[in-house]
Amino acid sequence: MASVTYDHTTRIYPGNTTPSVSDLNLDIKDGEFMVLVGPSGCGKSTTLRMLAGLEEVNKGRILIGDKDVTTMQPKDRDIAMVFQNYALYPHMTVADNMGFALKIAGEDKATIRKKVEQAAEILDLTEFLDRKPRALSGGQRQRVAMGRAIVRQPKVFLMDEPLSNLDAKLRVQTRTQIATLQRQLGVTTLYVTHDQTEALTMGDRIAVLNLGVLQQVGAPTELYDRPANVFVAGFIGSPSMNLSVHPVSEGKAQIGSDSVSLPTDAVAKLTPEDNGEIILGFRPEHASLASAGDTDAFSLLVRNTEDLGSDGYIYGDIIADDSVADSAAATSATMSDQNKMTTVRVNPRELPAVGDTVKIHIDPSRMHLFSPATGERLN
């Protein structure tokens, strides 16, 4: 096993001036399950392919353990990849597919069979070894692809969105199997996904990329509780964090026709470039219904509700002077994904009716504040 180090690594594709991955510094510990997450086109697959040797490194270097592999051929890097498509040979049995790389490497038949049977036992594939891929389900085929990587006993596993072709139910089941398997084997793993739910549930640590730039690295709870900037705040979590820009007056955020108290240390960090405004964020579960007379709450016009049995959700528009707030002042600045509406999780037995006006109180200890000028965290 081995650690992985990206040392000021940059990749610029021919014909482009903007790097697809820019000055990446990332350390993956020996045996760690690191998840690279971000929107399409953020550079996460390029990052993985540079480690595999499938993409050229224009600047910087990549190390596996203490060995510089930047210019090394892929076959010499001692890595194994699991792709989005299973890439199985349809004319071969499961056993032959799993052992094919070892056969090419010149291993004897007895050793290959032993390693294949060991991997099959780990993956619960023993009874399928003599079947062809067409006789397997999608989840079983993906496990065969995993087995092909396992039998090689590499230093590093690379997984490029391996669950994308599975249906929702099977995806949940397989991600649990992959996470359990990785901890059982203890192989250093770099896992690429655009699904932040996968990232939160599988990784020891998560690295968030956007436009080729590393935004934040940390444990799932760290990114959820203390996002470093507006991008990470809006990307991590489902439903996503409510984010909107508001004027600041006398230490309070003016939300529509109401005001909400802000921590003095955060307000003190605002600069002239912020133009007297602040980005206020809160997760749907960190707000609650308040009484009509609550002075530290804001008014919300309920546009839609959802009763999920265990949870209830309110979707609404901020109100200013008994009307929906001017879009330029508030709602158009919202950076969440719920159609620019504010989302609040409540007791499903207390859901208001659509069209009602309710007061919303934000838990002050769970408030996230960011600079409009830089997008960086203030509190």
**Cβ–Cβ < 8 Å for 285, 366:** no
pLDDT for the residue numbered 334: 38
Band of pLDDT at residue 324, cut at 50, 70 and 90: low
Out of 137-141, 298-302, 373-377, least confident range: 137-141
pLDDT in tens, 31-68: 999 999 999 999 999 999 999 999 999 999 999 999 99
Which amino acid would we find at residue 240?
Answer: S
Assess whether pLDDT exceeds 90 at residue 149: no
Answer whether 252's CB lies under 8 Å from 261's CB.
yes
The mean pLDDT value for 235-249 works out to: 92
pLDDT, mean of residues 103-119: 88
Q: Is residue 2 a contact partner of residue 27, using CB atoms and an 8 Å limit?
A: no
CATH superfamily of the domain spanning 4-234: P-loop containing nucleotide triphosphate hydrolases (3.40.50.300)
Whether omega before 239 lies within 30 degrees of 0, making that bond cis, reads yes
pLDDT for 337 beyond 50: no
Q: CATH 1.10.10.10: does it fit domain 240-370?
A: no
Question: Residue 80 is encoded by which pair of tokens?
Answer: 């194994």
Q: Per-residue pLDDT for 146 more than 90?
A: no
C-beta neighbour count of 3 within 10 angstroms: 17
Percent above pLDDT 90 for the chain:
65
pLDDT, one tens digit per residue, over 153-182 is 889 999 998 888 777 777 888 888 888 888
Using an 8 Å Cβ cutoff, are 378 and 269 in contact? yes
pLDDT in the model for residue 308: 92
The whole-model pTM stands at: 0.86
Taking the C-alpha atoms of residue 103 and residue 156, their distance in angstroms, rounded to an integer, is 20
Give the angle subtended at the CA of 192 by the CAs of 191 and 194, to the nearest 5°. 140
* C-alpha–C-alpha distance, residues 13 and 38, integer Å: 19
Please check the confidence at residue 330 and state whether its pLDDT lies above 70. Answer: no
Amino acid 48: pLDDT: 95
Confidence bin at 335 (pLDDT 50/70/90): very low
pLDDT digits (tens, 9 = 90+) for 272-297: 999 999 999 999 999 999 988 888 99
Contacts of 108 (CB under 8 A, 6+ apart): none
b/e per residue, 272-309, with b = 16+ CB within 10 A?
eebeebbbbbbbbbbbbbbeeeeeebbbbbbbebeeee
135, two tokens: 């006789």
| Domain boundary assignment for the chain | 4-234, 240-370
Average pLDDT over residues 58-86: 91
Mapped onto helix, strand or coil, the DSSP state of residue 281 is strand
Average pLDDT of the chain, as a whole number: 89
Residue among 313, 297, 315, 300 nearest 350 (CA): 313
Highest mean pLDDT pick, 98-102, 258-262, 318-322: 258-262
Identify whether the C-beta of residue 59 lies closer than 8 Å to the C-beta of residue 9: yes
Given this model, what pLDDT does residue 246 score?
95
What Å distances lie between residue 224 and 201, 219, 282, CA to CA? 12, 9, 11
- What proportion of the chain, given as a percentage, has pLDDT over 70? 95
Please report the pLDDT score of residue 151 as a whole number. Answer: 87
Residues 6+ apart with CB under 8 A from 286: 362, 363, 366, 367
What pLDDT does 231 receive?
95
